[in-house]
């Protein structure tokens, strides 16, 4: 359900940026969502439709890019993608790992009509 | 036309969380964000910690509705602010900023935030805390770590509450230890009972050391 407040904040950021460029309309928003956040794109789309009514972003397309969870093992030096959230090196099983990606909730860019 | 934005959607929240942290640093106050599902025993755990910890403590209570928890804390003579989120499933940094205005910061060493009972949404929202404690109670079952990895991953420590009920439940501390440490290898685990007080000495020693180390570093 926190997709509700995230959608609200995302829309505010996009509109502010669009207005700065004097955009007539926002056509699309590109989002990068890390797998660790477990956010649901369908939820975003549903709330966005409601929130964006009567704004320059009404009708805009939401484009999602999923970012895999990537860790770097400090013991063996290998970088791996993990699918099950486990913060263990899949090669040497060391718990001494650094998270490289997977936590993103990023509005990357917007496409606008000027 | 393509306009690069490259903005973290949580940046507005995170900025206020940093402001909260700065305000608390200025007052040398350590803040704990306590997270769990509803009914895990967060309020009783805070009450029992208050009774055992020789520090000036204040509490911020987060609930969708009611002041039931705040009334309980107030009975102990502890400053408390109740936040009613009115349906929202988590506390955010602006809510905490407002709550801090209503606490006696000049005479507080430690603030406990009791977050809204929820194992999903509160995990993503920084509030300005020093540490996040996630609580799992034995009555919830030992599978919650596998089901809600997001929140257990952000925990600085895991509190396992209601261990006095272990003889009556099929709850495996070994399974919890194993699953939790795979997700979060650096974190500590404190099995305890807020009802009998078992296991509290370890926890109190750890939180006391945390507060002391924080004050010494400032």
Give kind and range of the element (H or E) at residue A98.
Answer: strand A97-101
Q: Give yes or no for residue A1 having a pLDDT over 80.
A: no
Q: Give yes or no for residue B87 having a pLDDT over 90.
A: no
For the segment A91-100, the average pLDDT, to the nearest whole number, is 92
Q: What angle do CA B158, A85, B182 make, to 5 degrees?
A: 50
Token pair belonging to B43:
């309020």
What pLDDT score does B186 carry? 87
| C-alpha–C-alpha distance, residues B116 and B65, integer Å | 10
| C-alpha–C-alpha distance, residues B64 and B88, integer Å | 7
In tens, the pLDDT along A64-90 reads 999 999 999 999 999 999 988 888 899
Q: Pick from A33-42, B86-95, B191-200 the range whose average pLDDT is largest.
A: B191-200
Helices (H), ranges, B80-137: 93-100
Q: How far is A47 from chain B (nearest CA, A)?
A: 14
Contacts of A57 (CB under 8 A, 6+ apart): A11, A14, A15, A18, A25, A26, A29, A48
Q: Give yes or no for residue A15 having a pLDDT over 70.
A: yes
Q: In chain B, what residues touch A106 (CB-CB under 8 Å)?
A: 6-9
| C-alpha–C-alpha distance, residues B164 and B158, integer Å | 17
Q: Nearest chain B residue to A109 by CA: give it.
A: B4
| C-alpha–C-alpha distance, residues B195 and B193, integer Å | 5
Contact check, Cβ <8 Å, A114/B90: no
Q: Which residue has the tokens 């934005």?
A: B5
Q: How far is A28 from chain B (nearest CA, A)?
A: 9
Burial class (CB in 10 A: 0-12, 13-18, 19+), B152: buried
Contact check, Cβ <8 Å, A87/B1: no
In tens, the pLDDT along B96-153 reads 999 999 999 999 999 999 999 999 888 889 999 999 999 999 999 999 999 898 899 8
User: Where do the structural domains in chain B lie, given as residue ranges?
Assistant: 20-209
For the segment A59-68, the average pLDDT, to the nearest whole number, is 97
- Residues of A near B (Cβ–Cβ under 8 Å) read 1-2, 5-6, 9-10, 12-14, 17-18, 21, 23, 31, 36-38, 85-88, 95-97, 104-114
- Complete edge-to-edge strand list for the sheet that includes strand B131-137: B80-84, B57-63, B110-114, B30-35, B131-137, B157-161, B188-191
Q: Give yes or no for residue B88 having a pLDDT over 90.
A: no
Percentage of chain B lying above the pLDDT 70 cut = 100
Q: Which residue has the tokens 């690069």?
A: B4
Contact check, Cβ <8 Å, B3/A23: yes
Contact check, Cβ <8 Å, B3/A13: no
Contact check, Cβ <8 Å, A111/B89: no
Counting every residue written for chain A, the total comes to 114
Helix, strand or coil, per DSSP, at residue B40: coil
Domains annotated for chain A, with CATH where assigned, are 3-68+102-113 (3.30.2320.50)
| C-alpha–C-alpha distance, residues A61 and B28, integer Å | 47
Nearest to B149 among A85, A88, A114 (CB): A85
Contact check, Cβ <8 Å, A87/B183: yes
Fold (CATH) for B20-209: Rossmann fold (3.40.50)
Q: How far is A50 from chain B (nearest CA, A)?
A: 17
């Amino acid at each position: 359900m926190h997709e509700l407040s995230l959608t609200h904040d995302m829309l505010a950021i996009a509109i502010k940026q669009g207005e700065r460029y004097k955009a007539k309309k926002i056509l699309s928003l590109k989002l990068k969502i890390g797998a660790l956040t477990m956010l649901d794109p369908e939820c975003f789309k549903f709330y966005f439709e409601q929130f964006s009514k009567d704004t320059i972003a009404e009708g805009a397309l939401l484009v999602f890019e999923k970012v895999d969870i990537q860790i770097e093992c400090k013991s063996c030096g290998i970088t791996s993608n993990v699918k099950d959230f486990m913060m263990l090196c899949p090669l040497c099983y060391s718990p001494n790992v650094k998270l490289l990606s997977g936590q993103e909730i990023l509005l990357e860019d917007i496409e606008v009509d000027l | 036309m393509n306009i690069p934005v490259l903005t973290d959607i949580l940046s507005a929240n995170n900025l206020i969380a940093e402001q909260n942290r700065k305000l608390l640093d200025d007052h040398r106050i350590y803040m704990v964000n306590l997270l769990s599902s509803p009914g895990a025993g967060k309020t009783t755990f805070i009450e029992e910690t208050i009774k055992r910890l020789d520090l000036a403590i204040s509490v911020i209570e987060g609930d969708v509705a009611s002041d039931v928890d705040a009334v309980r804390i107030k009975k102990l003579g502890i400053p408390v602010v109740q936040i009613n989120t009115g349906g929202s499933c988590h506390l955010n940094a602006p809510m905490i900023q407002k709550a801090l205005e209503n606490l006696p910061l000049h005479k507080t060493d430690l603030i406990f935030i009791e977050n809204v009972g929820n194992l999903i949404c509160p995990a993503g929202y920084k509030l300005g805390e020093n540490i996040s404690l996630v609580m799992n109670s034995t009555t919830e079952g030992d599978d919650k770590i596998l089901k809600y990895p997001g929140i257990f991953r952000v925990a600085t420590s895991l509190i396992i509450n209601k261990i006095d009920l272990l003889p009556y439940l099929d709850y495996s501390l070994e399974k919890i230890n194993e699953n939790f440490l795979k997700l979060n290898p650096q974190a500590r685990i404190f099995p305890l009972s807020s009802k009998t007080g078992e296991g509290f000495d370890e926890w109190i020693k750890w939180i006391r050391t945390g507060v002391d180390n924080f004050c010494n570093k400032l």
